[in-house]
Structure 1
Amino acid sequence: MPEGHTLHRLADELRTAFAGRAVASSSPQGRFAAEAARIDGRVLEGAEAWGKHVFVSFADAPEQVHVHLGLYGSFLVTPGVGRPVVGQVRWRLEAASTADLRGPNACELLTPPEVDALIGRLGPDPLRDDADPERAWRRIHRSSVPIAALLMDQAVLAGVGNVYRAEVLFRNEVAPMTAGRRVTRKRWDAMWADLVELMREGVRTGRIDTVRPEHEPEAMGREPRADDHGGEVYVYRREGQSCLVCDTPVRRRVLAGRNLFWCPTCQHRG
Structure 2
Amino acid sequence: MRNIVSQPDQECSVISGEEFIREHTFFAIKRGTTKCFDGITTYIFNQGDCGLVRKNRLSKYCKGKGGPAVETTFITFDEQFLKKFQARYQPALFDLTSKDTFLHIPPSALLSNFVHSFAPYYKADRNIISSFADVKREELLLILLKFQPELSGLFFDFGMPEKLNLEAFMNQNFVFNVHMDHFARLTGRSLSAFKRDFKAIFNETPSRWLLKKRLQEAHFLIEKKRRKPADIYLELGFETLSHFSYAFKKYFGLAPTAISKAGQSTPKATLK
What is the TM-score of this pair, normalised by structure 2? 0.28
What is the TM-score of this pair, normalised by structure 1? 0.28
Greater strand proportion: 1
